[in-house]
Amino acid sequence: MSPPHSLLLLFSSMFFFTYFPGLVVSADVTLSSIEIYTTHEWLKATPSLYFQCKGDNKTELLDVKETNVSYTFKGEESWQPLTNFFGKKCKRCGVYEENKILYDDVFDEWELCPSDFTTPDGRYIHFKEKEFNASFLCPDCLPISGVSVSAPPSKNQYQSKKGMHGAVIVLLTILVLAILTLAILVIYKYWQKKKREQDQARFMKLFEDGDDIEDELGLGTII
């Protein structure tokens, strides 16, 4: 039973390394710069902005107080990184303004994806007219998205999914064929053995019958 085992191991490891090369990587996203063009709360002079992704904690942007001023960051501030990715999965994130009385105001909310960081230094600029312009950095996102950098992310995800299905089907087919071949071989060997035994038994019986006939004949001649 050792050849099918090693075959299975070989195929599953091939499968794993082909399709999940960047899966274990975690990639931090930092805010590089932000400029807001408006505030949503007119009662308060200074806005309290924060960045948040669904499932993550809030990150308060305490420095951002004035409109039409570009704030730049080194990426090492106490509140950085903003968020992080595990694998290719996108996160739904947004820039909001805290509102003490009503619901928080939304500057913008969008899907932030590792594949968005396409420049050589891993930068992504999110601009929303009349609201804000922010640039994010994620150098570790480049190896995660890999060759998909220039391709549209949705198409690429579809293709890799299709490829994965194909690989699973091929793997299963090979496995089934291997098991089937093995089973046929075992059955054939068993049948051969059985047949040989039967032949032997019939031969022995023939011998015994022959003896009986001879005995009868001998007895007959004597009489």
Ligand X SMILES: *[C@@H]1O[C@H](CO)[C@@H](O)[C@H](O)[C@H]1NC(C)=O
CA 146/CA 151 separation, integer angstroms: 10
Q: Which is nearer to ligand X, 15 or 110 (CB)?
A: 110
13 is an interface residue for ligand X by CB under 6 A = no
46 is an interface residue for ligand X by CB under 6 A = no
Burial class (CB in 10 A: 0-12, 13-18, 19+), 85: buried
DSSP 213: H
- Which residue in 10, 14, 56, 212 binds ligand X (CB under 6 A)? 56
26 is an interface residue for ligand X by CB under 6 A = no
Sole window of 94-102, 109-117, 125-133, 174-182 interacting with ligand X (rule: CB under 6 A):
125-133
Number of residues that bind ligand X (CB under 6 A): 10
Residue 94: CB minimum distance to ligand X, A: 16
CA 98/CA 118 separation, integer angstroms: 31
CA 144/CA 90 separation, integer angstroms: 12
Burial class (CB in 10 A: 0-12, 13-18, 19+), 131: middle
> Are residues 82 and 91 in contact, defined by beta-carbon separation less than 8 angstroms?
no
Q: Which is nearer to ligand X, 33 or 118 (CB)?
A: 33
57 is an interface residue for ligand X by CB under 6 A = yes
Sole window of 86-94, 127-135, 165-173, 209-217 interacting with ligand X (rule: CB under 6 A):
127-135
133 is an interface residue for ligand X by CB under 6 A = yes
- Which residue in 7, 23, 69, 125 binds ligand X (CB under 6 A)? 125
Neighbouring CB atoms inside 10 A of 117's CB total 24
DSSP 58: P
- Which residue in 2, 6, 68, 150 binds ligand X (CB under 6 A)? 68
Residue 2: CB minimum distance to ligand X, A: 46
Of 118, 143, 140, nearest to 30 by C-alpha is 140
* Contact residues for ligand X, defined by CB under 6 A: 33, 37, 56-57, 67-68, 125, 127, 133, 135
